[in-house]
Chains A and B, each alone.
Chain A
């Protein structure tokens, strides 16, 4: 039961002032600029854009500054901001095959056309704290050689035998579900599942993806390809009657290939899971692709035995704005609720005590 409570305005105002002061920290230390956050904490910015579901690096950086670096709080700020803006357009599907790649690797195909490009990766670093970064520096990377104009997606390119399932486009006039417009309903199509997973909390997806590797769903995944880089976004311009490319966004894509032993209806083959996220978000895209594949269990005729295969469980608990809202609402005054529960527990205890007393009396009388 909710009851309106008045009071506390002064305390709330002062609490927010204290938060602002604490957020700023020691005033003798220079204040962070939004541009500094955008340029130098891009990993946080990318996560906030992906889960906030709005691509805008400056806005995500500002949200991080406001939330004193608390990512889930910053994601919440971005989600709230987006509700103030009108929807001007829906883009044509981005073409990740035409990506201007910064990174592109495959763990399945060593000799893929265009080659393995490590790009700006943490892989193969020793994870030793670099104390040199306590001082300022301007590192310069070496440039050498050229990239091919077009780097085809290797999973489709090297699938001559057809042993890997093909992803087929839907009809041009088919509806595409949109969780920003309609509530989540079941059964959820792959369009809805992928949108939900793209916005989903990274830690949650990582844990679910990990569970599929540890045996909670029959998953034998290989990285068909991971690529990060820029893709152009094209939208139809109503004033012109044709589409225009309005800018580039950075995305990370993971094509996971999973061994599949076959089922009653399907012969053995490799199946696929897909992950896509804004920015450099390799861990997120990989985890997403594992969970996408696990959620295809029903479609592929697999037994649903593990949490990651349970669409209702996975999709209902994936959104950290919803989850954090419901968990954190427990902090709000529940004084009346609690008083009612106290009364209930007192009554129950009194009834049990009275019943016990009756039994003792009866026993004593015998």
Chain B
């Protein structure tokens, strides 16, 4: 599937898509309180219009038999989404988050919209994306270490026959 490049990114379309995918992946994992705090910390409060009203629905989660084989429908998950456009420059942003918090979806869409030019993207990166990414990585590392500590070390008992 091809996609239009983000409007003013001076980068290749694929790199623009990859950057936006990364941003949305991290934003989707940010707590609502973190998103609200980042919004409040902006020097200028953005104004936006809803292109798509915040909405909660379901996404069917697909899986594969054996992890790699025939597809099947495992079950659904709740998802909230929103699409906005900024009042000052008309840039568009979308937010999709797991769960039923429509405000989170709207805030993700706003930050996505604010990241649609290079200067905005850099600002939001420093204010929100990088710290959340760091926090997620720290949590992952701490969890992984606890799991790694449960690794079984097998040893063989040598029979003293000689």
A, B co-complexed: yes
A contacts, CB < 8 Å to B: 49-50, 53-56, 58-59, 82, 85-97, 100-103, 110-111, 115-119, 141-147, 153, 155-156, 166-170, 174, 176-180, 190-192, 194-195, 198-199, 232-233, 235-237, 239-249, 251, 253, 255, 272, 274, 276, 278, 292
Q: Are A103 and B147 interface neighbours, CB within 8 A?
A: yes
Cα separation A165 to B143 with both chains bound (whole Å): 34
Count contacts between A and B, CB distance < 8 Å.
243
Given known pairs A88-B55, A116-B151, the reply for A93 and B60 (CB within 8 Å) is no
The stretch that binds A, out of B24-32, B33-41, B42-50, B121-129, is B24-32
Q: Which A residue's beta carbon lies closest to that of B77?
A: A55
Measured between beta carbons, the chain B residues less than 8 angstroms from A92 are 62
Which residues of B, 62-117, contact A by the 8 Å Cβ criterion?
Answer: 62-79, 81, 83, 92, 94, 96-100
Besides the known contacts A54-B76, A242-B17, 5 further A-B residue pairs in the complex with CB atoms under 8 A apart:
A89-B60, A167-B65, A170-B69, A191-B71, A292-B65
When A and B form their complex, which 9 residue pairs have the shortest distance between CB atoms, in order from nearest?
A167-B69, A143-B145, A167-B66, A247-B98, A241-B3, A145-B148, A88-B57, A55-B77, A53-B75
Q: Nearest-CB distance from B91 to chain A (Å)?
A: 13
Which residues does chain A contribute within 8 Å of B68, judged by CB atoms? 97, 153, 156, 167, 169
Closest to A153 in B: B67
Q: Is the CB of A88 within 8 A of B3?
A: no
B58 contacts which chain A residues (CB < 8 A)? 54, 82, 85-88
Distance to closest chain A CB from B20 (angstroms): 7
Contact with B67, one of A86, A111, A118, A167 (Cβ below 8 angstroms): A167
- The smallest beta-carbon distance between A162 and chain B, in angstroms, is 15
What chain A residues lie within 8 Å of B94 (beta carbons)? 237, 239-240
CB-nearest residue of chain A relative to B61? A91
List chain A residues, Cβ under 8 A from B57: 85-89
Question: Are the C-beta atoms of B150 and A94 separated by less than 8 Å?
Answer: no
Could you jot down 13 A-B contacts, CB within 8 Å?
A55-B78, A56-B99, A58-B99, A59-B78, A86-B55, A87-B58, A117-B148, A156-B68, A168-B70, A177-B73, A239-B94, A245-B24, A246-B96
Residue in contact with A102 in the complex, picked from B66, B75, B77, B147, CB distance below 8 Å:
B147
Question: When the two chains form their complex, are residues A102 and B151 in contact, meaning their CB atoms are under 8 A apart?
Answer: no
User: Contact partner of B146 among A49, A85, A142, CB < 8 A?
Assistant: A142
User: Are A241 and B4 interface neighbours, CB within 8 A?
Assistant: yes
CB within 8 Å for A195 and B67 given contacts A143-B149, A240-B3:
no
Say yes or no: A117 contacts B81, CB within 8 Å.
Answer: no
Are B78 and A118 within 8 A (Cβ)? no
B162 contacts the other chain (CB 8 A)? no
* Chain B residues, Cβ within 8 Å of A94: 61-63, 74
User: Are B63 and A233 touching (Cβ within 8 A)?
Assistant: no
> In the complex, A50 Cα to B81 Cα: how many Å?
23
Query: In whole Å, how far is B150's beta carbon from the nearest beta carbon of chain A?
Result: 4
Closest CB-CB distance, A74 to chain B, in whole Å? 15
Query: B2, B63, B72, B77: which has the most chain A beta carbons within 10 Å?
Result: B72
Known: A85-B57, A91-B61, A195-B73. A253 touches B142 (CB 8 A): no
What CA separation (Å) do A169 and B69 show in the bound complex?
4
Q: How far is the CA of A177 from the CA of B72 in the complex (A)?
A: 7
Q: Per a CB cutoff under 8 Å, which of B71, B72, B77, B148 touches A233?
A: B77
Indicate if the CB atoms of B79 and A89 lie closer than 8 Å.
yes
**How distant is B151 from chain A, measured CB to nearest CB, in Å?**
5
CA–CA, A182 and B58, complex, Å = 17
Cβ-based interface call for B135 (8 A) = no
- When chains A and B are docked, how far (Å) is the Cα of A270 from the Cα of B29? 41
